[in-house]
Amino acid sequence: MFTIEHDFDATIVTLVDEGPAPLQEDVTVTAFEDCVTVEQYDPRSDTVSKITLSMAQLHELGAALDLPEGVYRFREVEG
């Protein structure tokens, strides 16, 4: 299950883990104009872990999900 919310300066997607145990904590993905953050609560340390991806990193992550193992670099296409 997931939810989508539109705030003034960001779109927030919350991914809720469902199904048989063990379940993971919710993941919150916040998309801003220039970056995307991913947050998840860690009950072992009682903290929220957060990473920030640039739009280029997000683009590469999306491409990587559909590619076989290897090393890749995007090229600028002239035109």
At 3-40, the pLDDT tens digits run 999 999 999 999 999 999 999 999 999 999 999 999 99
Instruction: Give percent of the chain with pLDDT exceeding 90.
Output: 80
Q: What integer pLDDT is reported at residue 26 of this predicted model? A: 97
Question: How far is the CA of 78 from the CAs of 7, 55, 74, 75, in angstroms?
Answer: 36, 20, 13, 9
pLDDT > 80? residue 76: no
**Rounded to two decimals, what is the model's pTM?**
0.84
Locate the domains of the chain by residue range.
2-54
